[in-house]
Amino acid sequence: MRSLLNFLLRIHFLLLFILIEVFSFTLLFNNNNFHKARFVNFTRQFAGNFYIKTTKLKQYLSLVEENKRLAEENNRLLNIIESTYKSDEIFFRSVNDTILNQRYQYTSARIINNSINKKHNFLTLNKGSQQGLRPEMAVVSNGNIVGVIKGVSRNYATVISVLNLDLRISAKVQKNGYFGSLNWKGEGYQTAILNEIPLHADIQRGDTIITSGFSTIFPEGILIGYIKDFEEKAGSFYEIDVELSTDFKRLNNVNVIGNLLQAERKKLEKQAEKND
């Protein structure tokens, strides 16, 4: 207590000065309309700027939850779209109608582990069989190809990345439909190789490469990348360098796509192979 009193005695002149200043400003603002108006405008502007900055801070801190909510909403909308699927047993449709002849189900997931500097790169997702994931489901990010689910446990799934020597993807040139096999050569994380495109195909640098839809895993039209360069190989085909559209160093949230007709198609094709 004595220390507090000694401290107050040391600064009593300062405290007295502050009280007199506050009293003076109070008299000034209460008896002068001009100064009162300026003071009110200043406090309003200060409060407004403070609220704007605090609102921006709150919005920034809520970005993680907002991204999660948007991912869930996108998948809800995709599932609504897919629920409009109509079977060809009921409606006859054109053979070229590749949209309504397939049915897919979408769910979101978050990447909790990712590698890009190995020869056989994998990702790990925070969902597994309990959330409906299973092997041979497609994994994409913002409409760009990522990989294929390889293994599943109760709450986790591993994804074989496009950046894996063992993964081959059926891809095609978007503008003319010529298709081939795309795989990664193990060098760099931004380029893959597309083979088996015939020399008479009209291709140019910058052409878009997408999934062909021929596999039971990826729907048609998932973006893979763009032609970076190409050269003639084996006398009748091009070897095409494809700049991948997916930035594997920045992956976070992904969509997992399940083909609901996959088992039926694989069973039929396996039966056809046996009869061949």
Q: Does residue 83 form part of some domain?
A: no
* Extended strands (E) in 115-206: 120-125, 138-141, 144-152, 157-164, 168-173, 179-183, 191-198
- pLDDT at position 172: 97
Say yes or no: 152 and 259 in one domain: yes
Residues 6+ apart with CB under 8 A from 266: 216
Q: Does residue 28 form part of some domain?
A: yes
Among candidate residues 152, 157, 174, 274, the one with its CA nearest the CA of residue 222: 174
Say yes or no: 177 and 99 in one domain: yes
Q: Does residue 80 form part of some domain?
A: no
Q: Does residue 166 form part of some domain?
A: yes
Among candidate residues 154, 137, 194, 144, the one with its CA nearest the CA of residue 171: 194
Neighbours of 177 (CB within 10 A): 9
Helix (H) or strand (E) holding 41: helix 33-61
Say yes or no: 100 and 56 in one domain: no
Per the structure block, which two tokens stand in for 47? 């409060």
Say yes or no: 194 and 263 in one domain: yes
Q: What is the pLDDT of residues 83-140, one digit of tens each?
A: 655 443 333 333 333 444 557 889 999 999 999 999 999 999 999 999 999 999 999 9
Domain boundary among 19, 40, 60: 60
Q: Angle 176-178-182 (CA atoms, 0-180°, nearest 5)?
A: 130
169: DSSP letter: E
- pLDDT at position 111: 94
Say yes or no: 270 and 172 in one domain: yes
How many structural domains is the chain composed of? 2
- pLDDT at position 100: 45
Q: Angle 169-171-172 (CA atoms, 0-180°, nearest 5)?
A: 170
Q: What's at 192, amino acid-wise? A: A
Is the whole model's pTM more than 0.75, yes or no? no
- pLDDT at position 112: 94
- pLDDT at position 94: 31
φ, ψ dihedrals at 28, nearest 5°: -65, -45
Q: Does residue 70 form part of some domain?
A: no
- pLDDT at position 90: 36
Say yes or no: 137 and 38 in one domain: no
In whole angstroms, give the CA distance from residue 173 to residue 197. 9
Show the domain range for 156: 88-275
Per the structure block, which two tokens stand in for 161? 């990345």
Say yes or no: 20 and 122 in one domain: no
Say yes or no: 104 and 181 in one domain: yes
Neighbours of 129 (CB within 10 A): 14
In whole angstroms, give the CA distance from residue 260 to residue 275. 25
Domain boundary among 41, 60, 79: 60
Say yes or no: 41 and 170 in one domain: no
- pLDDT at position 19: 78
Say yes or no: 56 and 102 in one domain: no
Say yes or no: 99 and 228 in one domain: yes
Q: Does residue 184 form part of some domain?
A: yes
Say yes or no: 54 and 168 in one domain: no
CATH number at residue 240: 2.40.10.340
Residues of the chain with pLDDT under 50: 86-100
Q: Does residue 239 form part of some domain?
A: yes
Q: Does residue 68 form part of some domain?
A: no
